[in-house]
Amino acid sequence: MTQADPSSISAPLVLQVEPHEGGARLDAWLCTRIEEMSRTRATEHIAQGHVRLLRGPPGAKIKPSLQIHRTMTFEIALQPRPQMSAEPEEIPLRVVYEDDDVLVIDKPPGLVVHPAAGHESGTLVNALLHHAPQVQGLGDEVRPGLVHRIDKDTSGLMVVTKNERAMRRLAADFAAHRLERRYAAIALGQLSQDELTVTTLHGRHATDRKRFSGRVREGKAAVTHLTVLARSPLTTLVVATLETGRTHQIRMHLAELGHPLAGDALYGGVRPHQKTERTAADLPWLKRIDRQALHAYALGFRHPRTGELMRFELDWPEDLREVAHGLYGDACRLPSLSEPVHGQPPPLA
């Protein structure tokens, strides 16, 4: 995949269609060949004349649906992305802990973390700028103070930094995996192993740009450790411990194991189940899950100023609490950071 700086105009890219790529749509092919190129941006580049056919059938009409083949070579003049900024908004935050350096919050499901196309306002960052104005200008323009993120429909713990020193130190700890992160997940089907480590590459899905896949030829490593806590006829309750923190990593890995998160429509976690004597008890609970059943329930890190070990844990969020109890009874209790699980990193203490 070609890397390019999408924020500024650079020299045109010249890309030749590889033999195995023939038959794809032009817009989809551009997404697979240019890092960070979305389907929407590819369509815009084509419509605005920034994609030219250098070699191929004469008179071929350059349009998003053009079927490419190996005789074709294209020139793409990458255009800068529109500049985006975030403004303070009075949005309530669930603050778990706060001092002059860090802010730990309990992010509710449905809240987008930072502004992006389609979500220019109403995000966690907009709320942060109102709650802690000093984060303005700290790092990225639309991600001030952020050293990690969780998906819109994932609930749970996030830490935000409030000054340059804290951001630099915590960002380094995240990059070096010097922290503790655990997620509670309700997956469809029954995982056969009680403990499992999933190691794959991580990259954009070949045909769906909203998804990620471990079945790619090039990409960064993605490692997830899974511990089964309980099983019901249709589901498995899992604790996922991250060794790496790629986008959609847990969602991707469970889906490619054949056990997508319950409620995760993007990765196949919404599906019909036949009502039988065996499955009847699970079905009402599954119907109550209206987002991916993933909760970042535990987070541990060293305080960037004092070095003190900071550990935070949450119970199930309101929308999943009754579901978890209904499916697993008392077995839905989430193990604390002091209780070992598979793949747990060396303790920070």
| CATH number for the domain that contains residue 117 | 3.30.2350.10
Among 122, 140, 175, the domain boundary falls at 175
Q: How many Å apart are CA 329 and CA 307, to the nearest integer?
A: 38
- Cα–Cα dist 253/308, whole Å: 33
Residues 232, 159, single domain; the answer is: no
218 and 286 in a single domain? The answer is yes
Query: Could you tell me the pLDDT band of residue 19, with boundaries at 50, 70 and 90?
Result: confident
Task: Indicate whether 168 and 39 sit together in one domain.
Answer: no
Asked if residue 239 lies in contact with residue 183, where contact means CB atoms within 8 angstroms, the answer is yes
151 is catalytic: yes
Q: Are residues 308 and 217 located together in one domain of the fold?
A: yes
Looking at beta carbons, which pairs linking 229-232 to residues 24 or more positions away fall under 8 Å?
229/328, 229/331, 229/332, 229/334, 229/335, 230/327, 230/328, 230/331, 230/332, 231/190, 231/191, 232/281, 232/282, 232/327, 232/328
The one catalytic residue in 151, 153, 264, 319 is: 151
Do residue 111 and residue 193 come from a single domain?
no
**What is the full DSSP assignment across 114-171?**
S-BTTBSSSSHHHHHHHH-GGGTTSSSSSSTTBS----TT-EEEEEEE-SHHHHHHHH
Are 296 and 206 in a shared domain? yes
**Buried b / exposed e along 217-247 (16+ C-beta atoms within 10 A):** eebeebbbbbbbbbbbbbbbbbbbbbbebbe
Q: Which of 175, 207, 225 is the last residue of a domain?
A: 175
Indicate whether 1 belongs to any domain: no
pLDDT of residue 7: 47
Please say if the pLDDT value at position 5 is more than 50.
no
Cα-to-chain-centroid distance, residue 267: 12
Instruction: Decide if 347 is inside a domain.
Output: no
The confidence score (pLDDT) of residue 147 equals 94
112 — pLDDT class (breaks 50, 70, 90): very high
In a domain, 291, yes or no: yes
- Over residues 21-57, the pLDDT tens digits come to 888 899 989 988 887 787 888 999 999 999 999 999 8
Determine the pLDDT at residue 1. 56
Give the model's confidence band at 232: pLDDT under 50 very low, under 70 low, under 90 confident, else very high: very high
Mean pLDDT of the chain: 91
Distance, CA of 44 to chain centre: 25
| Residue 248 in tokens | 């959609």
Q: What is the CATH number of the domain that holds 56?
A: 3.10.290.10
What was the pLDDT predicted at 349? 53
133 and 22 within one domain = no
Q: What is the pTM of this model?
A: 0.80
Structural domain that includes position 325: 180-332
Higher per-residue confidence, 33 vs 254? 254
The number of folded domains in the chain is 3
The number of residues in the chain equals 349
321 and 187 share a domain? yes
Q: State which of 33, 48, 76 marks the end of a domain.
A: 76
Say whether both 202 and 268 belong to one domain. Answer: yes
pLDDT digit string, tens, across residues 65-80:
999 998 899 999 998 8
In this structure, is residue 346 part of a structural domain? no
